[in-house]
Structure 1
């Protein structure tokens, strides 16, 4: 949905951490320090495998990271240092067909909540907050709507609204590459796959600020984007198919505090999507950052990803 990984991946060296049942990976922090991240595989009831990441520190409050499309679930390196200062612990996972997780053909945005519940059980998490960027935003909201007794707060950054959102012109403001990718998904998996194979060199709908963001700490996104397609296109295809079908959840069921963060100039997931969500979620907070776009919104000094993480911490009693 959000990016052509073939274009982004040249920005930084791709991440090639191995996928093993239990291993230690590393996440760089902004000051050059390294946080060890434990990786493990969880066996799901239907026979699939879910690859999970955990920054440990059991006394810290867990925040579940929901990754974008196409990415893997590695915890966000640019936010590792901030999370540590706030007493937060990152946990995350590769969505089905990404990284070390088994494919789940026909999955919906809402069905991923069952995988999150299995992750929480395996890590013995009674409650947790959720933060998602881009395609991770819808999945985070779906978790909040489904796991109401476990999700304490949720942040959606540059996320999409439901495809059947009443009164929303879903494609309005979306750039041509993102529009073509998602319209092809409307025509089914085969058409979507052909589209991706035929348009690998299509330009990404990023603004100049987005590209500048990739030159800084958030260039980490280039690594997880490259890793997201290293095994093939199934994860990206299944994500996009899910975005253009019903989520399978009731947003009105969300009881946890919600923050919607969006850049006004986003051409991948237009800011109108968060405006629609704000109307559908009474009591939520909605930050729109003038001039920011799909990636630059993360790096904004005021009301960017670090401030959103601080907002989460405050609502979990940290």
Structure 2
């Protein structure tokens, strides 16, 4: 995993990770709060290039656009957990047609008006036993997105929903160019 600090135009720095710098043959998947340690093998056979950064409470969609620009990536997918899910949706709205697909796990809610700007397919994965981020969040998002897929799991909670990350990667592969 290649690591570097990316200096943003506002003077702040983000610590960035890239599993395959300059490998344009792989689909870039930007992860936001989704641990990828157990996903390396699946990422290899699916041809995925992992890109992520240390998420700070001040990380914005514009910051993530700078990360993918610095990585030389045109099209990419986003995966986010909780606040990372809302950030993934805000980023998809900001960068538009560069985003090929979005996956959220137990997402919190972004502002409603940005959702109409998202044209990419979105997989909303949520555990019905989640007591941190209510499953109604994903239901609400599904009614406001143009291409939603709602993926609910009765026995999973806020953290255990991340066990659905590997099937979500397969969904990304099926929904991207």
Short-chain TM bin: over 0.9
Secondary structure at 1:125 match in 2 = coil
- Structure 2 counterpart of 1:306: 166
Within the alignment, does 1:315 sit opposite 2:175 as a pair? yes
Larger relative contact order (Cα-Cα within 8 Å, sequence gap ≥ 6): 1
- Structure 1 counterpart of 2:40: 80
Q: 1:84 to 1:287 in 2, by over 3 A?
A: same
Distance 2:155 2:112 in 1: 33
1:55-74 to structure 2, matched below 5 A, reads 55-56=19-20, 58=23, 59-67=25-33
Distance 2:3 2:168 in 1: 26
C-alpha root-mean-square deviation of aligned residues, in Å?
1.7
Q: 1:254 to 1:288 in 2, by over 3 A?
A: same
- Structure 2 counterpart of 1:145: 93
Secondary structure at 2:143 match in 1 = helix
Distance 2:2 2:46 in 1: 20
After TM superposition, give the deviation of residue 249 of structure 1 in Å. Answer: 5.7
Contact 1:142 1:249 in 2 (8 A): no
| Deviations 1:207-230, CA, capped at 9 Å, x for gaps | xxxxxxxxxxxxxxxxxxxxxxxx
- Structure 2 counterpart of 1:290: 154
- Structure 2 counterpart of 1:124: 72
Distance 1:279 1:121 in 2: 31
Contact 1:131 1:137 in 2 (8 A): yes
Distance 1:55 1:305 in 2: 17
Distance 1:95 1:298 in 2: 17
After TM superposition, give the deviation of residue 149 of structure 1 in Å. Answer: 2.5
Long gaps (5+) in structure 2: none
Distance 1:266 1:292 in 2: 7
- Structure 2 counterpart of 1:258: 122
1:1-318 to structure 2, matched below 5 A, reads 37-56=1-20, 58=23, 59-67=25-33, 76-96=36-56, 104=58, 112-162=60-110, 247=111, 250-299=114-163, 304-317=164-177
Q: Name the count of aligned residue pairs.
A: 175
Secondary structure at 1:253 match in 2 = coil
Name the structure with the higher strand share. Answer: 2
Distance 1:283 1:117 in 2: 22
